[in-house]
Amino acid sequence: MKKKHTMSDQPKETSKQINRRGFISKSALFGAGMAVTPLAFASENHASTKKSMNNPTVRNGKRMLGTLEVSPIGLGCMSMKSGSYNPPRDKKDMIPVIRGAVNLGVTFFDTAEVYGPFTDEELVGEALQPIRDKVVIASKFGFELSTGSRGGRNSRPENIRNAVEGMLKRLRTDRIDLLYLHRLDPNVPIEDVAGTVKDLIKEGKALHFGLSEVSPSTIRKAHAEQQVSALQSEYSLIQRALENEVIDTCGELGIGFVPWGPVCRGFLGDKFNEYSRFSEDSRFAAVPYFTPEAIKAHMEVLNLVREWGRRKDATPAQISLAWLLSQKPFIVPIPGTTKLHHVKQNQGALNISFTDAEKIEFRTALEKIPLVGVRAPESALVDQ
């Protein structure tokens, strides 16, 4: 759908301005020159997608995370009030972004108690309270926050229950639609975590169970105790380690997959350029694929995305999101932003499609590009 990928009220930019805005970092974590994903994922993708379509993973313009119906693209709210990647934004500026996203068709909103901590949930709760029954709210537990600041991992049953009681108050709701384990606590068996959430679901305080950054074996153990609706992990054109068994495990078990960082923390959205550098106190400085070497190496990925953008009359961010959506029908990315015009632009990705031949062409070119600082494929088989 030409010319409808960008939104009418988005500031107009010349192609020169767009080119200047973004070519930054190429993620890499486990060494230079590493090709992350086997082409087998691409060649098997069409067949496995057809098989997945036997499940109601796409219907009525929505996607299914297990049995939970959501918009095909959600909104990650982490950066709005947590101060994680930018200074905390004023509530009066962020509430219109969240409510505006609903008007644009977004029904799936992601937050966590650790974001802030607590401030992000408070924002989301206030913004969505008037339209609570029209949206899906996801939040996450799994850290020690009893002192008001982030401690270590804590998924003991009593901490999970305390976390959920706090969530319900901050989110101004009587249930959490999708309750995630944020990170695995090595001191608590995953079966105990799943069992606790199972009880919360029986009590109506949670409706669906999710996991984040865990291995296929942990997914299976949790799913055996309580049906898992969604797995959330980092996945983008640059960070593709989860293609090693994890995404296919989700497809096999009827679990939705929710990529965070789908535009690689802004890199694939033309947020930076090859000269971008970060101060030591910046969160970006600690990300292995935002080193100067990684940025230089991954310019090829951004150039590939821009080339497809020209072919599809789309922005790099739209191409990046559309590519993810095309991989499996149960994938629902949650790009984060603090700007409503970015939400509108992201929604334009829904107008972009790839033929089977185009997906193979894209994947073949992508896998020729060496990556720097990204996760090794074998890391997907270990809980993070």
216, HSE (Cβ side, Cα atoms, 13 Å) = 18
Q: Which of 279, 278, 307 is nearest to 294 (CA)?
A: 278
CA 231 vs CA 50, 60, 294, 295, 375: distances in Å:
21, 22, 27, 28, 18
- Alpha helices, H only, 104-253: 119-128, 157-170, 190-202, 216-225, 246-253
φ/ψ (deg, to 5) at 70: -140, 165
CA 208 to the chain's CA centroid: 18
| 121 touches 170 (CB < 8 A) | yes
CA 215 vs CA 66, 183, 259, 306, 331: distances in Å:
18, 11, 15, 33, 17
User: What CA–CA distance (Å, rounded) separates 248 from 254?
Assistant: 10
User: What CA–CA distance (Å, rounded) separates 212 from 75?
Assistant: 17
Which residues in 90-107 are b (16+ Cβ under 10 Å) and which e?
eeeebbebbebbbeeebb
Cβ-Cβ contacts under 8 Å for 261 (sequence gap 6 or more)? 234, 235, 236, 239
Which residues in 217-236 are b (16+ Cβ under 10 Å) and which e?
ebbebbbebbbbbbbbbbbb
What is the sign of the dihedral through the CA atoms of 282, 285, 289 and 295? positive
Per-position DSSP letters for 336-375, written without gaps between them: B-S-HHHHHHHHGGGG----HHHHHHHHHHHTTS-BSBEP
Active site residues: 115
- Total residues found in the chain within this entry: 384
